């Protein structure tokens, strides 16, 4: 079996499903209606953005929601609406997308980069405890890859130290923690509709939140400092136009009806892949590749991505190149935020993050589009891994 990299036959020759999936009839119909109406903006009263916000609030078990242009701005608006700003510190995990930290910078606060749990790779409550200072104002757990962070200990810490909790749920539409949807577990939660996410309109975001004063403040941040129900040219606060459009909302609202089916599909693929990986021969008492486990309390992982830990000693660049040549392109994942010079130059502070550094070396991701394939095709991933690791 010659590696495809060296001219052999690739394990997988047919393409994986593309992302996003094809438009469905409901999307086509609603988007067509909005397009024809000329009411493309959320301030023109078409109502689709309001319907989407209401649907997200309901699904997040949070009473309020504000639609925004993207999740980076959503995290910023949530922080600012909750009163976080200059002089404050916000604890973010080291293994996440850079926007979790740059949203903090946008709010004028200092991102404090804390380590993740070495097993599940979500924000470690112990690391948060160690990173607390008198200036800590908020903590931002990230529901990474669709798997909730362990919220109970984080919420308990936040309550003890009077911190705001902003959930970065950009990757976790439909995920649940101890039977409750993410987003409504902290003071605010933020979803993304960027092109790679589990629901997308190309770009977009949604902030959900629990109490009315926070909602009014966040809404005002996203609507040029207006007061909810107040005058159009009255601006009692400083704010910006961070709104989503009704055209985007028209692609997203019908998607909520098929989100559960898509999660179930990805879950079936992940379960099949985990079984296949369990059959790979052990070396020195460990499986060569294992699935990164869920954090405690996870009752529903929305499987945005599947994170795999490569235990076998293999050069990562070789692994990624050889897997791509076999027709199974995997992603390298995040560099630890603390290693990004731009963030430290901008004032971010990094705590020691050995678990995130280990993850950056040994964890690879299976893409969402691949997880949407038939579960039987999980065998392609396992077979390609076995072939590449045996080379």
Ligand X SMILES: *Cc1c(COP(=O)(O)O)cnc(C)c1O
Binding footprint of ligand X on the chain (CB under 6 A): 70-72, 96-97, 99-100, 142, 168, 170-171, 192, 194, 205
Q: Considering beta carbons, is residue 57 or 244 the nearer one to ligand X?
A: 244
**47, 188, 205, 222 from 293: Cα distances, Å:** 40, 25, 27, 36
Give me the residue label for tokens 């009806």. Answer: 257
Range list of β-strands (E), 202-319 = 205-209, 289-291, 298-300, 306-310
Task: Report in angstroms how near the CB of residue 73 gets to ligand X at its nearest.
Answer: 7
197 catalytic? Reply is yes
Task: Report in angstroms how near the CB of residue 248 gets to ligand X at its nearest.
Answer: 11
Active-site choice (143, 197, 367, 377): 197
Question: From CA 244, how far away is CA 12, in angstroms rounded?
Answer: 39
Q: Are 16 and 373 in contact (CB under 8 A)?
A: yes
Question: From CA 280, how far away is CA 282, in angstroms rounded?
Answer: 6
DSSP 109: P
Question: From CA 256, how far away is CA 261, in angstroms rounded?
Answer: 10
Q: Considering beta carbons, is residue 168 or 216 the nearer one to ligand X?
A: 168
Residues 6 or more apart whose CB falls under 8 angstroms from that of 376 comprise 272
> How many C-alpha atoms does 95 have within 13 Å on its Cβ side?
30
Annotated catalytic residues are: 197
């Amino acid at each position: 079996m010659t590696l495809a990299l060296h001219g052999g036959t690739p394990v997988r020759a047919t393409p994986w499903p593309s992302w996003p999936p094809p438009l469905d009839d409901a999307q086509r119909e609603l988007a067509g209606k909005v397009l024809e109406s000329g009411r493309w903006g959320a301030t023109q009263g078409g109502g689709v953005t309001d319907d989407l916000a209401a649907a997200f609030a309901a699904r997040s078990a949070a009473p309020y929601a504000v639609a925004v242009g993207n999740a980076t701005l959503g995290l910023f608006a949530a922080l600012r609406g909750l009163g976080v700003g200059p002089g404050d510190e916000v604890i973010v995990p080291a293994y996440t997308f850079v926007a979790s930290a740059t949203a903090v910078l946008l709010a004028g606060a200092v991102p404090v980069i804390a380590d993740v749990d070495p097993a599940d790779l979500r924000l470690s409550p112990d690391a948060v405890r160690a990173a607390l200072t008198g200036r800590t104002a908020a903590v931002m757990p990230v529901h990474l890859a669709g798997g909730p962070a362990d919220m109970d200990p984080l919420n308990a810490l936040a309550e003890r130290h009077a911190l705001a909790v902003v959930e970065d749920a950009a990757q976790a539409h439909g995920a649940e923690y101890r039977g409750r949807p993410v987003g409504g577990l902290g003071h605010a939660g933020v979803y993304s509709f960027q092109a790679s996410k589990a629901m997308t309109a190309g770009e977009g975001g949604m902030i959900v939140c629990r109490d009315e004063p926070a909602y009014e403040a966040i809404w005002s941040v996203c609507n040029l400092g207006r007061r909810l129900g107040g005058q159009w040219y009255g601006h009692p606060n400083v704010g910006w136009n961070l709104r989503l459009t009704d055209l985007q909302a028209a692609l997203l609202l019908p998607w909520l009806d098929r989100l559960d089916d898509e999660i179930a599909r990805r879950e079936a693929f992940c379960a099949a892949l985990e079984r296949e990986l369990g059959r790979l021969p052990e070396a020195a008492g460990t499986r060569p590749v294992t699935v990164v486990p869920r954090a405690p309390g996870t009752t529903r992982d929305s499987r945005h991505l599947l994170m795999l830990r490569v235990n076998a000693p293999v050069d990562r660049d070789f692994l990624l190149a050889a897997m791509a040549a076999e027709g199974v392109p995997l992603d390298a994942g995040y560099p630890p935020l603390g290693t990004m010079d731009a963030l430290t130059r901008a004032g971010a502070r990094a705590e020691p993050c050995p678990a995130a550094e280990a993850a950056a070396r040994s964890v690879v991701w299976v893409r969402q589009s691949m997880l949407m394939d038939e579960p039987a095709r999980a065998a392609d991933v396992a077979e390609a891994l076995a072939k590449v690791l045996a080379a």
